[in-house]
Amino acid sequence: MEIQRRMAVAAKGIVLGIAIALLASSTQSFVSNSPVSASSPAVLSASVPVAEAPAVTPASSVSPGAPAVEKEVPYVVTPNEVVAEMLKVARVTDRDQLYDLGSGDGRIVLTAAQKYGTRGVGVELDPKLIQESNASAQKAGLGDRVKFLQQDLFQTNLRDATVVTLYLLPAVNLKLQPKLLNELKPGSRVVSHAFDLGDWKPDKTLTVKVPKTGRIHAVYYWVVPAQVAGNWQGTLATPLGRQPVNLLLRQQFQQVTGVATAGNATLAISNAKLTGNQISFTTNKKVQGQAATIQFTGRVEGNTLKGIATVQGAGLLTGKYNLVAQRR
């Protein structure tokens, strides 16, 4: 039994050691796997040797009084320059409610509150880090805007968050992906330092160079898409009367494809863009022998799609019309 216990402790140490190494070297591994063009100056300069690793508290130093839930990620801080860019890309404001999942010393929540007046919640398992975050909030006079909850990030309800920030590990991000998509409202933003969210491709990827270390850090940004897949039946109000329009939309995260049916014509949808609940797409149609383009811009609210269809190159039908559709 004793041998088994010792082996289990040793194995846990090895796993945590690997996790720390992965986080501390996340900047380097990004460079070699970078989806950003290799000609980007930021990436080129990443080939400059990396100086020191970010501050890491030893994995074994879990504070006394820590809850039974295992930490999924060790404590490694996001450099302040990277925090600044994460908040900038998410365009946080004083109307946002930001959640940092695994909040460490609270720096992301505290910086957002200080710089932008953002309300924030830090979720952290380690009671010592919670204490430190609360002390920093008091010192900065931010006690009324931020709170730090000692709890498991997977047990945290995210429904009132408008921005979520992450600096976790690839496997933890993957596990978190469905929770983010299910709980966050369309239009909420997610920003992750160092690691992406698997097959949910980011809307933006950027790199930040930290002068002190020479390291290049990746930052990924997503906007939570509305659910738009389905069969939509609607009408286009034209001067020639109400034209029935049917839309069959397919969706993978924020990527939308599909077809529009109007009269006898079935037209492929192209250039579709879905940002939160804002949707736009184009269809091409031959009207009275001429190539016509219909550009739609609108928004999805539950099972209602409303917007403006701009028809070009369609003779008498050229113009802007309201399109309203219901999902069946």
Ligand X SMILES: C[S@@+](CC[C@H](N)C(=O)[O-])C[C@H]1O[C@@H](n2cnc3c(N)ncnc32)[C@H](O)[C@@H]1O
Identify which of residues 77 and 245 has a Cβ nearer to ligand X in the complex: 77
Check binding of 103 to ligand X (CB under 6 A): yes
Whole-number Å distance between alpha carbons of 25 and 262 = 54
Q: Are 251 and 227 in contact (CB under 8 A)?
A: yes
Of the candidates 315, 316, 252, 245, the residue with the CA atom closest to the CA atom of residue 283: 245
Per CB under 6 A, contacts with ligand X among 263-282 are none
CB of 160 to ligand X, least distance (A): 18
Least separation in angstroms between residue 119's CB and ligand X is 17
Give the x-and-dash track for 151-180 against ligand X (CB under 6 A).
-xxx------------x-------------
Taking the C-alpha atoms of residue 134 and residue 73, their distance in angstroms, rounded to an integer, is 21
Q: Is 85 in the site for ligand X (CB under 6 A)?
A: no
Closest separation in Å from C-beta 126 to ligand X: 4
Q: 100 vs 196, which CB is nearer to ligand X?
A: 100
How far apart (Å, rounded) are the C-alpha atoms in residues 279 and 232?
14
Dig out the tokens for 149 from the structure: 């909850």
Does 104 participate in binding ligand X (rule CB under 6 A)? yes
Provide the minimum distance between the beta carbon of 79 and ligand X in the complex, in angstroms, as a whole number: 8
- Per the CB < 8 A criterion, the answer to whether 168 and 182 are in contact is no
Contact between 196 and ligand X by CB under 6 A: the answer reads no
Q: Using CB under 6 A, which of the segments 35-43, 95-103, 259-267, 294-302 binds ligand X?
A: 95-103
Residue 78 lies near ligand X (rule: CB under 6 A): yes
73 binds ligand X (CB under 6 A): yes
Q: In 3-state terms, what secondary structure has residue 175?
A: helix
Q: How far is the CB of 167 from ligand X (least distance, A)?
A: 3
Instruction: Please report how close the Cβ of residue 288 comes to ligand X at its closest, in angstroms.
Output: 59
Question: Any bridge partners for residue 327, and if so which?
Answer: 232
Residue spans of beta strands (DSSP E) within the chain: 97-101, 119-124, 146-150, 163-166, 189-193, 204-210, 215-223, 230-238, 241-252, 255-262, 265-268, 270-275, 278-287, 290-301, 304-312, 319-327
Instruction: Please state, in angstroms and rounded to a whole number, the distance separating the CA atoms of residues 245 and 262.
Output: 5
Q: Does 192 engage in binding with ligand X (CB under 6 A)?
A: no
Are residues 303 and 326 in contact, defined by beta-carbon separation less than 8 angstroms?
yes
Which candidate, 245, 239, 244, 246, places its Cα nearest to that of 318? 239
Sole window of 3-11, 44-52, 102-110, 265-273 interacting with ligand X (rule: CB under 6 A): 102-110
Q: Is 108 in the site for ligand X (CB under 6 A)?
A: yes
Least Å distance between CB 254 and ligand X?
Answer: 25
Part in contact with ligand X (CB under 6 A); list of ranges 30-38, 71-79, 173-181, 240-248 = 71-79
19 touches ligand X by CB under 6 A: no
Residue 185 touches ligand X, criterion: CB under 6 A: no
Query: How far is residue 222's CA from residue 114's CA, in Å, rounded to a whole number?
Result: 23
Per-residue binding letters, 229-258, with ligand X (x by CB under 6 A):
------------------------------
Decide: 23 and 169 in contact? Cβ < 8 Å.
yes
Q: Does 100 bind ligand X (CB under 6 A)?
A: yes
CA 278 to chain centre: 16
**What is the contact surface with ligand X in residues (CB under 6 A)?**
23, 69, 71-73, 75-78, 100, 102-104, 107-108, 123-126, 129, 152-154, 167, 193
